[in-house]
Amino acid sequence: MTSSAYKIRVKNAASKNTVPTLENGDKLTQAEFERRYDAMPHLKKADLIEGIVYMASPLRITQHGEPHAAIIGWLMLYKASTPGVQLGDNCTVRLDADNEPQPDALLRIEVGGQSKISEDGYVEGAPELIAEIAASSVSIDTHEKLKVYRRNQVQEYIVWRFQDGELDWFRLAQGNYILLESNSQGIIKSEVFPGLWLDKQALLAGNLARVIEILQQGLTTIEHQNKVLIEKDRK
């Protein structure tokens, strides 16, 4: 075999073993999506929604990074006082054969909840709560993802529509999402996680001290204290 023929053969073999890159708009199976994603360690964010790949644009601190941090901080404070729940930041979730999103935040019930942790460390099934920061992704977050989360029984879905200056908190009821409304004090209360309270307007205004104050009030309620006791008895 000549030197040039050998080089061509080696090059062809290498091409066959090369994993194709993940691209926006690719239509893939879940297995192929994971194979390509795993082969791109530099890639930090990608969703498979109804079999289509969606990859995030570069994220701006004002429109995404800071709101994301605020949601994670709020949920982290809840987790710190609430045994039996697990908080995830940008975790891949295997929902079904065509849907593997990577939500900005999730909160799941560890024992007796809807989801489980697979042997390779992924969330499988629907977490009880998912939160998304919708800036450049507002269309998919409020349409395709909403339908997928509803169909897969995500019990509560929070969408912070940053550019609209609005936050929607949906609750699954009889197969449909309904909006949870603020009470007369301006507080939204989770119906799945006792004590998870939010002053929506304070969050939108960047008044995190008020957000923390209201959450702490929720954590002192009888409902939350009962949950803590139940989890302690379980252990």
Spell out the alpha helix ranges (H) of the chain. 3-17, 30-38, 66-80, 138-142, 144-151, 200-205, 208-219, 222-234
- Mean pLDDT within 91-97: 95
Return mean pLDDT, the chain.
Answer: 90
* pLDDT reported for residue 150: 96
Residue 220 phi/psi, 5-degree rounding, is: -95, 0
- Mean pLDDT within 36-52: 91
Taking each helix axis from N to C end, the angle separating 66-80 and 208-219, rounded to the nearest 10 degrees, works out to: 20
- Confidence category of residue 231, pLDDT binned at 50, 70, 90: confident
Residues 6+ apart with CB under 8 A from 209: none
**Which residue carries 């701006």 as its tokens?**
60
Residue 211 has pLDDT above 50, yes or no: yes
Residue 82 phi/psi, 5-degree rounding, is: -135, 100
In angstroms, the CA 120 to CA 140 distance is 28
CA-wise closest residue to 168 among 149, 141, 144: 141
pLDDT tens by residue, 160-193 = 999 899 999 999 999 999 999 999 999 999 999 9
* pLDDT reported for residue 142: 78
Residue 119 has pLDDT above 90, yes or no: yes
The segment with the largest mean pLDDT, out of 3-12, 48-57, 188-197, is 188-197
In angstroms, the CA 41 to CA 21 distance is 11
- Mean pLDDT within 105-132: 96
CB 141 within 8 A of CB 152: no
What is the pTM assigned to this prediction?
Answer: 0.86
Residue 209 has pLDDT above 70, yes or no: yes
- Of 19-23, 156-160, 175-179, the least confident: 19-23
Single-letter code of the amino acid located at 175: G
* pLDDT reported for residue 138: 61
Residue 32 has pLDDT above 60, yes or no: yes
* Domain spanning 61-234: CATH 3.90.226.10: no
CB 49 within 8 A of CB 103: no
| Of residues 6 and 195, more confidently modeled | 195
